[in-house]
Chains A and B, each alone.
Chain A
Amino acid sequence: MSRITGRFAGTLGTFHFDAAFDIPAHGVTGLFGPSGCGKSTLLRCLAGLTRLPGGSLRVGEETWQGAEVFMPPYRRPLGYVFQDARLFPHLSVRDNLRFGLRRAGGGKVAEADVVEFLGLAPLLGRYPARLSGGERQRVAIGRALLAQPRLLLMDEPLAALDRDSADEILPRLRGLSARFGVPALYVSHQMDEIERIAQHLLFMRAGRVVAAGPLVDLLTDLSLPFAARTGAATVLDLPVSAHDDAYGLMLCGTPPLRLTVPGRLGAVGELIRLRVLASDVSLLRAPASSSILNTLPARILAAETADGPHVLVALRVGEARLLARITRKSWDQLGFALGQEVFAQVKAEALAGAQ
């Protein structure tokens, strides 16, 4: 699989920046970090909007920036979605969408597909001043996609929106990379947004990339802050295997990783993402009564047993990983240990669809 690799380093004012990265050239990569850690700076460097001498950037086989090369932003086949949309106020929605499309000279992303995917049809004749914040951002995403990018950069596109508008756009972002075959780098300081849409994660702090890899690996890495936060969670991508319409439930995945989930979030065969909170997973030495749904065979990979009332446990279930947060008392009383085969009990109600 081709990759996107590079490094940008330099001093901006009093801020020292040195970000090296290597991400897959497919899917959505979340770029997470606290405010002011340099996420936007990295994105601007990738786009060529900020030029740091000595930077390097390769996208697949192409060198966008190197010792002797600096492609200006307008030569880089990329799409950039700004936090503030930045639509052209003198152009209609249709002409905004076509701005990059016309200059890219067409490509595999078709106007009609983007209009349909983002629900833009009713907006085409309107001007940006007459759009809501959410509508503007949808047009901005469409405009970037139609520029036929080989890399889509999104700089907190939902940060300025109210919760409802954001919730309307998020599910579309999840399918976007696969649908249009464009890798995306999605900046956010909201981990729950990234958990809903990303497959990979770059974690930045103080101008550096401090961790990178598949999202699930980083979420369950006990040395990183994700597992320790209050709302710690992992994600599972499982295909819907059956519906239980009598009880309004879905069966997802195949044994050993088979879960019963309330609701009907997708058709049979469709991949859906489940988010499992660490506090909703408990551990047993043997499967309890068969009346309890969602008891999965698991192996203890790692545990964080510092003082304090809780123990954080990383588990492997089949090919997937889970996090469990149990009390230190039960950890000691049940005599758990690393490498041990146990049973993880996941409350079905605890599984929140990400769709």
Chain B
Amino acid sequence: MWTAAALTLELASITTLVLLVLGVPLAWGLARAKGWWAEVVGAAVTLPLVLPPTVLGFYLLILLGPNGPLAPLLTRFGVTTLAFSFPGLVFGSCVYSLPFMVQPVRSAFAALGQGAWEAALTLRAAPWDAFFSVALPLARGGIATGALLAFAHTLGEFGVVLMIGGDIPGKTEVLSIVIFDDVENLNWTQAGQIATALALFSFLVILVTLRLGRRMERT
């Protein structure tokens, strides 16, 4: 069980980091873009929110499988498939948790409006400079919220993990899978303990997120 807990934390941490690096610029682009294609990209990013996890897992399995479209690229790196592997899980988690990162960050960027941005430009800040010195710090509340939500969401995912990761102990078996296995094996005590821990942790994350949002509103 502790192996699974460590694996779960590792998965959630790496996913959150990857999403910070990729999701924040994506959210910036979506917040500033005008035009129909921004809506299309926005909708695609949001899709995992409503798609049944098994459907998402199914497509990811095909994408990452030995005969999938990514296979030629993967073999170049000496890998035949990402399915049923930890990197595959990270990939799947990133797609699955993407909207939880992008939505709050996009809203935070959109709320900044043009005001501070234009002021920075007239004060000799080039766009990349204005992004790092003005937009990013002003959106920090949204970024923290996004990171927390993405982290918590990854902790609890089940369907996608089961589809593309299976339950290989130490490699792809995360806590939610352990709960499922425990229940199947009538090991109710451990299932209950893990479930309680996950529920408490998730509650804490939401609480912190809300408080953070409240504090940002005041400044």
Which residues of A come within 8 Å of B, CB atoms?
Answer: 47, 49, 72-80, 82, 84, 86-90, 99-100, 103-104, 129, 143-144, 147
Which residues of B come within 8 Å of A, CB atoms?
Answer: 115-116, 118-127, 129-130, 133-134, 137-138, 140, 219
**Interface contact A73-B121, CB-CB below 8 Å:** yes
| Residues in A whose Cβ lies below 8 Å from that of B121 | 49, 72-74
8 closest A-B pairs by CB: A100-B123, A103-B124, A80-B122, A86-B119, A73-B121, A90-B137, A86-B115, A74-B121
A93 to chain B, nearest CB (A): 14
B162 to chain A, nearest CB (A): 43
A8 to chain B, nearest CB (A): 17
A97 to chain B, nearest CB (A): 10
**Interface contact B122-A49, CB-CB below 8 Å:** yes
B125 to chain A, nearest CB (A): 6
In the bound complex, how far is the Cα of B119 from the Cα of A88, in angstroms? Answer: 9
Q: Which residue of A lies closest to B137 (CB)?
A: A90
Neighbour of B123 across the interface among A49, A75, A90, A103, CB < 8 A: A103
In the bound complex, how far is the Cα of B134 from the Cα of A89, in angstroms? Answer: 9
In the bound complex, how far is the Cα of B121 from the Cα of A75, in angstroms? Answer: 9
Neighbour of B138 across the interface among A82, A90, A129, CB < 8 A: A90
| Residues in B whose Cβ lies below 8 Å from that of A129 | 219
Q: Main secondary structure on chain B at its contact with chain A?
A: helix
A34 to chain B, nearest CB (A): 24
A6 to chain B, nearest CB (A): 17
In the bound complex, how far is the Cα of B112 from the Cα of A90, in angstroms? Answer: 12
In the bound complex, how far is the Cα of B125 from the Cα of A99, in angstroms? Answer: 9
A-B contact pairs, 29 of them (CB 8 A): A47-B122, A49-B118, A72-B121, A73-B121, A74-B121, A74-B122, A74-B124, A74-B127, A74-B129, A78-B122, A79-B122, A80-B119, A82-B115, A82-B118, A86-B115, A88-B116, A88-B134, A88-B138, A89-B116, A89-B219, A90-B137, A90-B138, A99-B120, A99-B123, A99-B125, A99-B133, A103-B125, A104-B124, A147-B123
**Interface contact A86-B124, CB-CB below 8 Å:** no
Q: Which residue of A lies closest to B115 (CB)?
A: A86
Given A47-B122, A82-B119; 13 other pairs, CB 8 A cutoff: A49-B118, A74-B122, A74-B123, A80-B122, A82-B115, A88-B119, A89-B138, A90-B138, A100-B123, A129-B219, A143-B123, A147-B122, A147-B123
Do A103 and B122 form a contact, CB below 8 Å, given A84-B115, A90-B137? no
B131 to chain A, nearest CB (A): 12
